[in-house]
Amino acid sequence: MINEYDVIIIGGGATGAGVARDCALRGIKALLIERHDIATGATGRNHGLLHSGARYAVNDRESAEECIRENMILRRVASHCVEDTGGIFISLPEDGLDFQKKFIDSCHAAGISAEAIDPKEALIIEPSANPKLIGAVKVPDGSVDPFRLTAANILDAKLHGAHVLTYHRVDELVQQSGRVVGVKVTDTVSGEKKEFRATITVNACGIWGRDIAAQAGVKINMLPAKGSLLVFGHRVNNVVINRCRKPADADILVPGDSITVIGTTSTKVPFDECDNMYVTRDEVDLLLREGSMLCPALNHTRILRAYAGVRPLVASDDDPSGRSVSRGIVLLDHATRDGVEGFITITGGKLMTYRLMAEWTTDLICKKLGIDKPCQTAEKMLPGSSESKSCKRTAGGGSQWSCSASSATWRHGDNASKIDSSTAAKRALVCECEQVTVGEVEYAVKELGVNNLIDLRRRTRMGMGTCQGSLCAARAASVMAKAHGCTVEGAKSDLKRFVSERWKGMSAVAWGDTLREGELLCWLYDGVCDLSNDKITE
Amino acid sequence: MEKQYSQNNFEQCTKCTVCTVYCPVAAVNPLYAGPKQAGPDSERLRMKGAEYYDQNLSLCLNCKRCEVACPSDVRIGDIIQSARIKYSTKKPGLREFTLANTDLVGSVATLVSPVVNATLGLKPVRHIVEGVMNIDHRRIFPKYAFGTFEGRMKKRRKEQAAFSKQVAYFHGCYVNYNNPPLGEAFVKVLNALGYGVQLLDKEKCCGVALISNGFVNQAKKQAQVNLKSIREAQNKGLKVVATSSTCTFTLRDEYKHLLEIENDDVRDNIDLAVRFIYNLLTDGDVKLNFNPDAPRIKVAYHSACHMERMGWTCYSIELLKLIPSVELVCLESQCCGIAGTYGFKKENYETSQAIGDKLFKAIEESGCDYVSTDCETCKWQIEMSTTKKVLHPIEILANSLS
């Protein structure tokens, strides 16, 4: 591998992937380095809400405007990652209707369409919404799949010449006379040490960006804010339900693919907890209590799992106390800010604005490299999104393989045509809950940079359904082992990591049917598959 | 223990897959994905959109053996049938109309039954029926009776009214149009127990064939008529008793689960003949006098799917055991493959016979004189596919009385 690049991007979240793609499209030689898999940080640990911006309209006009602009762009360029569900903001009797007027005016001022509708109409649009609602506003919310979005950006970046290294940890920023000139990394799978050089290094590490910046002697005042969410077993709602009040905990319910997500909480956590997020009992209680105000059906819907992410909130530079927190995009040129050349940090922002963050970053990179090429990411479709959304509706056509064909099209857009379904063996299901075939697993392994079962889950939804891997994990391990040619021991330890990761999310909500499912999971893998020497449930 | 059904019943599924192991269709037809996938798995996906509906759900027999097998109380069969009702875009044709409208076809056929029976017995005719209607030519139709059971009972109204205790009899289409002697056997047994038998004010086909052939609205109308009559009978203090296991199951469970018609108020008052009679005999108030000279017969009992679903197979078995002249063999419980009108359809014929194959062999090997079952369509299938004659337990009971 050539060790000289124009740009090294550290961080494989949506932002890093977006920067890599933007650079590649502008002909800049880019290398992306990620210590785990893509979309493992905050990118993969949020609602998956395609914000209309309405949530921010009252308090943060700038964010609201960014959101609605990006919303419209993503619908176009990332159509296979986005679902146009629409959204409603409901007012409950205890909220009153005072906020609603201000809310609608602020939306309009930010360029967001917001239409007050009759409570009865709201219940027709979304029958699962709390029937006690006294008012509702329709907004252009949607849902977006962060794993697909990141994977599509990575795919396109690679198509245009970018290099991507996952499972590579940055050990050190290489500095020469006040300038960052490259990185020293360790391949965390093989243990091999490598060094790469580039004119510019971009820090796109979310909350972990503080530590990367510190290696260059740069201080960024960040505040880790944990947000916890719950995943429900099926699509309870088909329209995003928000609460029409000042933004608070657990007031957004988003349908995403075959499930529904409620969130979030917001708690400040110490930095040393960022690598090991957990959801507390109080957070689960709060999410359920507030969530059932949006949608009473949540009280009797199976909860699949709980997860939490860390928002990379950045304190303003002129406020050392850290109280004045911005939720907007933070782009730091450390040459002007700190006198460190060749080093840029992009942070803050949100999943919704990942493309804009990448655009700003790449604009700055271009300026520094003296390249005059315009950004194309607002017009150029992501791979998978080039055909119209309507192919989703017709895929399969209700025939024998309709469920898996439709599911694959939903996940990969027009790239689903690359999945081999020519024989019964390729069409055989690995994951029954989410209809992932052998052909799709092989496609993901070949094209989407899958290293292990957990990566495979992010690319295909394998193991994300109601059984949480009970039945599919072993089958997937077998297909993967064949594709990768790995040993029995390797496959087993991969399987163990996968099952343990599934159980971690289930354990926070392990009662009722989820506990029964967990029992079956343990029974199968602890007992039948002889993973018993090391407890799966620990 | 009381069954536990949550509001999102399909989410109780832990994906253990035991239902698919017990599915008679999945075992013989690879086109059918099996109950777990057709039911709870796909129900989740159908919430994303109608394109997740698989037309092969029509391969489901609605035998409900999946529900019997399920350790998590998931109403798998109901989920599949409801999805068919909600999403199927296939319009029922002439064949479905003819097979489903048992009342209409039956009342015409019983007027001219000698002609109908003779004609449907002819091979060339069966080939024409196959060509026009897609009903397999190898399938043998049940014979129609000359005149209906209802007609026969009209003449016996006074005689039956003389009994101090009364029951209302839901005879079903089969007894009415094809096999009135079964109805008469029921009356004989009930009379011997001191009960007079009356018919419901108005009885329509229970609707099971309408539901499975896609005529849900008509099924709902007929259900309302039947429930009205059953309520009237209940108000008069009468138990409603049926000889057909499928009619009983439809009236008690399918009305509510598939047609979404409330029947909680009368469900417990609808009973199956064998269960009603067994309970009378074991409560000790009444006795039956068996004919000591009745010829000894060996009977092989076949558990119909809907008997299994109701959990009432034991009543038939125990009742048959009470008959001194009967030597009873219990066949391993498995589907015979016909599932009402399913096995008549040309495209299902092979599947239907493949499902029943093990049962047919077991019957031949049992050395029985007769097969007994509570379901009329199992009778057609077994009589067509084996050398044995099939009798309802009530017929065997009636024949053994003094």
**What are the pLDDT digits (tens) for B336-349?**
999 999 999 999 99
Q: Do B45 and A410 touch (CB under 8 A)?
A: no
Nearest CA in chain B to A431: B41
Nearest CA in chain A to B47: A235
Roughly how many angstroms between the first and final C-alpha of chain B, as a whole number? 40
Contacts of A394 in chain B (CB under 8 A): 51
Q: Which of B40, B44, B56 sits opposite A258 (nearest CB)?
A: B44
Contacts of B13 in chain A (CB under 8 A): 466
The two structure tokens encoding residue A510? 């392990």
Measure in Å the smallest separation between the Cα of A140 and chain B Cα atoms.
19
Q: Do B14 and A234 touch (CB under 8 A)?
A: no
Q: Which of B43, B52, B56 sits opposite A400 (nearest CB)?
A: B56
Which of A126, A234, A305, A516 is the mutation pick for testing B, counting most B CBs within 10 A? Answer: A234
Q: Give the CATH number, domain containing residue A161.
A: 3.50.50.60
- Considering only residues 69 to 108 of chain B, which have any Cβ-Cβ distance to chain A shorter than 8 Å? 72, 89
Q: Is residue A264 part of a domain?
A: yes
CA distance B203 to B224: 10
The SS3 assignment for B297 reads strand
Domain boundary assignment for chain B: 9-87, 297-399
- Say yes or no: A216 and A232 in one domain: no
- Say yes or no: A349 and A215 in one domain: yes
- Say yes or no: A236 and A345 in one domain: no
Q: Is the peptide bond before A264 cis (omega within 30 degrees of 0)?
A: yes
CA distance B17 to A488: 26
Last residue of a domain, one of A268, A294, A312: A312
Residue in the structure block whose two tokens are 């898999």:
A37
**B58 in contact with A at a CB cutoff of 8 Å?**
no
- Residue A396: what pLDDT? 45
The two structure tokens encoding residue A439? 């052909």
- Residue A536: what pLDDT? 44
Q: Which residues make beta-bridge pairs with B327?
A: B298
Maximum CA pair distance of chain A? 67
- Say yes or no: A256 and A394 in one domain: no
- Considering only residues 10 to 29 of chain B, which have any Cβ-Cβ distance to chain A shorter than 8 Å? 10-17
In chain A, how many domains are there? 3
Contacts of B53 in chain A (CB under 8 A): 398, 402
Q: Do A399 and B55 touch (CB under 8 A)?
A: yes
Q: Which of A234, A392, A406 sits opposite B47 (nearest CB)?
A: A234
Which of A305, A402, A423, A515 is the mutation pick for testing B, counting most B CBs within 10 A? Answer: A402
Fill in the amino acid letter for A212: I
Q: Do B45 and A403 touch (CB under 8 A)?
A: yes
Measure in Å the smallest separation between the Cα of A32 and chain B Cα atoms.
35
Fill in the amino acid letter for A363: D
Burial B264-299 (b: 16+ CB within 10 A, else e): eebeebbbbbbbbbbebbeeeeeebebeeebeebeb
Q: Do A297 and B15 touch (CB under 8 A)?
A: no
Q: Which residues make beta-bridge pairs with A30?
A: A7
Q: Which CATH number fits domain B9-87: 3.30.1330.30, 2.40.30.60, 1.10.1060.10, 1.10.10.10?
A: 1.10.1060.10
Fill in the amino acid letter for A211: D
The two structure tokens encoding residue A178? 């006040």
Q: Which of A398, A429, A466 sits opposite B11 (nearest CB)?
A: A466
The two structure tokens encoding residue B157? 């109204």
Q: Give the CATH number, domain containing residue A93.
A: 3.30.9.10
Q: Do B14 and A516 touch (CB under 8 A)?
A: yes
Q: Which candidate, A441, A499, A449, places its Cα nearest to that of A473?
A: A499
Q: Are B91 and B61 in contact (CB under 8 A)?
A: no
Nearest CA in chain B to A394: B51
Q: Which of A235, A300, A302 sits opposite B48 (nearest CB)?
A: A235
Q: Do B56 and A432 touch (CB under 8 A)?
A: no
Measure in Å the smallest separation between the Cα of B45 and chain A Cα atoms.
6
Q: Is residue A77 part of a domain?
A: no
Q: Are B221 and B100 in contact (CB under 8 A)?
A: no
Nearest CA in chain B to A516: B14
Q: Do A396 and B13 touch (CB under 8 A)?
A: no
Q: Do B54 and A403 touch (CB under 8 A)?
A: yes
Q: Do B8 and A403 touch (CB under 8 A)?
A: no
Measure in Å the smallest separation between the Cα of B358 and chain A Cα atoms.
27
Q: Is residue A375 part of a domain?
A: no
- Say yes or no: A230 and A114 in one domain: yes
Q: Which CATH number fits domain B297-399: 3.30.565, 2.60.40, 3.10.50, 3.40.50?
A: 3.40.50
Measure in Å the smallest separation between the Cα of B217 and chain A Cα atoms.
24
Q: Do A432 and B41 touch (CB under 8 A)?
A: yes
- Say yes or no: A299 and A446 in one domain: no
Q: Give residue ranges of A with CB < 8 Å to any B CB.
A: 233-235, 238, 257-258, 297, 300-302, 392-400, 402-403, 406-407, 410, 429, 432-433, 435, 465-467, 470-471, 513, 516-517, 520
Q: Is residue A17 part of a domain?
A: yes
- Say yes or no: A163 and A228 in one domain: no
Give all strands (DSSP E) within A3-154, no chain letters. Answer: 4-10, 30-33, 49-50, 82-83, 87-91, 115-117, 135-139, 142-144
| pTM for the predicted model, two decimal places | 0.93
Q: Do B45 and A435 touch (CB under 8 A)?
A: yes
- Say yes or no: A119 and A161 in one domain: no
Q: Do A520 and B56 touch (CB under 8 A)?
A: no
ipTM: 0.91
CA distance B182 to B174: 9
Q: Are A410 and A387 in contact (CB under 8 A)?
A: no
Residue in the structure block whose two tokens are 């209700």:
A398
- Say yes or no: A489 and A504 in one domain: yes
Nearest CA in chain A to B45: A258
- Residue A399: what pLDDT? 62
Measure in Å the smallest separation between the Cα of B373 and chain A Cα atoms.
35
Give the residue numbers spanning the domain of A125: 83-142+223-312
Contacts of B58 in chain A (CB under 8 A): none
Which of A292, A304, A433 is the mutation pick for testing B, counting most B CBs within 10 A? Answer: A433
CA distance B50 to A79: 20
- Considering only residues 114 to 143 of chain B, which have any Cβ-Cβ distance to chain A shorter than 8 Å? none
Measure in Å the smallest separation between the Cα of A474 and chain B Cα atoms.
14
Q: Do A516 and B72 touch (CB under 8 A)?
A: yes
- Say yes or no: A239 and A201 in one domain: no
Regions of chain B with pLDDT less than 50: 1
- Say yes or no: A466 and A406 in one domain: yes
What are the mean pLDDT values of chain A's consecutive 10-residue runs (538 residues total)? Answer: 88 98 98 97 96 95 96 97 97 96 97 98 97 98 98 98 98 95 96 97 97 96 94 97 94 96 93 92 97 95 96 76 70 96 96 97 98 97 79 51 87 94 93 95 95 96 95 93 86 91 94 93 86 56
- Residue B90: what pLDDT? 85
- Residue B2: what pLDDT? 53
Task: Provide the Cα torsion B220, B221, B224, B226; round to 10°.
Answer: -100
Q: Are A334 and A343 in contact (CB under 8 A)?
A: yes
- Say yes or no: A399 and A431 in one domain: yes
